[in-house]
Structure 1
Amino acid sequence: MVEPPGPVLVVVPTYDERENLGPAVARLHAALPDADVLVVDDASPDGTGELADALAAADERVRVLHRSGKDGLGAAYLDGFRHALTGEHQVVVEMDADGSHAPEDLPALLAALTDADVVLGSRYVPGGRVVNWPWHRELLSRGGNLYSRLALGVPLRDITGGYRVYRRTVLEQLHLDSVASQGYCFQVDMAWRALQAGFRVSEVPITFTERERGASKMSGGIVAEALWRVTCWGLSHRLGRDTPQRPAGPVTEGAAHG
């Protein structure tokens, strides 16, 4: 395995994921024993936060950030990123707690940092796949990605995916306080900002598996927000109203990384 460029922190946002959190953390540490985990819990009424505290008490690799209420995926990740930047971690990972993101795929994502600053775990590059998703969910996902790709003029095939890796330098330079997007629009926003800032973005194939326990947090409002914001970003870019910090960086598909 290629060694990551420094200590790794995996940020795991949770809301009512008590059934899933323990197995997810156990699988993560089996795949990557040296990784630290930050559970960002939005005051889950099912006791997920208390379980996270118990995991942290038993394992120094686990930390917990308690938030006061359910404030959206994007806000949870942003708080997690800010916490990461107060420490020594050089690599920050986004990973869902529901089991849909296989921790066994993480070594390949980290290895791709050799030639990238941001690595997206992609369902839709060669080698990527989706397991046990209803056809209408996959159609919605593929359609959202196609629309985003065309509207923004980028070659990324899974810009809405939430399994990804950032070098610390990317998060330090992306002006996190100005990010207001939620849901999978947050994922589009962060990838778009990284490209506009000139960072190298790569895609690596993953297997995405529909959760076995608990309920999805996806809603029609999240999808509508994403489509509206992506449309605005695309129009603004074509009208020359955005000002990248430096020339746009290259994008590579993860098939090149195996």
Structure 2
Amino acid sequence: MQLSLNGRAAIVTGGSKGLGLAMAKAFVEAGGHVALVARGADALASAEAELRDAAPTARITSIACDIRTVEGCEQAYAGAVRALGQVDILVNNAGTSQRGPFLEVSDALWQDDLDLKLFAAIRLSRLVLPGMKDRQWGRIINVLNIGAKAPKATSTPTSVSRAAGMALTKALANEFAPHNVLVNAMLVGIIESDQWVRRHAADKRNITWEEWKAEQGKPVPLGRIGKAEEFAAMALLLASDMGGYVTGTAINVDGGSSPVV
């Protein structure tokens, strides 16, 4: 059994590095076409070149814009349609982990987090859904965090915006299921990404990346942190026809770290 996207076209936000790039690579290697969306033009150019090497026949474009704004979302969608013809798959992956003591989180930080993680997903979904509905086929994948189900202390605003993303996932799944538009969430545990590379760099103990990964992976039932390629494989399943009976779910991709909920 081989997963294939059969020429489907995808937007991947936060697609220039980390999990976004891993998912985009899995898509083009499975016969899909991809529009990478991020703010940094240089990182996008590097990512686009990597994807072209991986899948020379795929249609690939990159769009530098800020999806925290209405205009940025419209630019991302218009650029994807212009280059790929239509959008069959939307992966709302852009986001950072903004967190801190609740009394120290300003309104500006709350708004920035909600604009990037929640309103960008709302606006982009609103743009892609009419076409998906007309074609009676579509996939939306919202990349969230396991904190959406089990938020910890000092986890705001990120856990709140992620939890709202779960509610958005379920509401859209129920509304658009009659049109064969499937909407799911993937909840990230400890998985190799730029975020964890930055955390290692900020560690003052001067331990190697491999030592740091081993330490972080100890509490995980599988005994290690995840690989970006493993996360991308789940995204590919949800984006493909083989995932055609899965909608309205929030799947933990966390090595067994989360409680059963």
TM-score (ref. length: structure 1): 0.40
Q: Could you say which structure has the greater relative contact order, defined with CA pairs below 8 angstroms and 6 or more residues apart?
A: 1
Structure having the larger proportion of residues in helix: 2
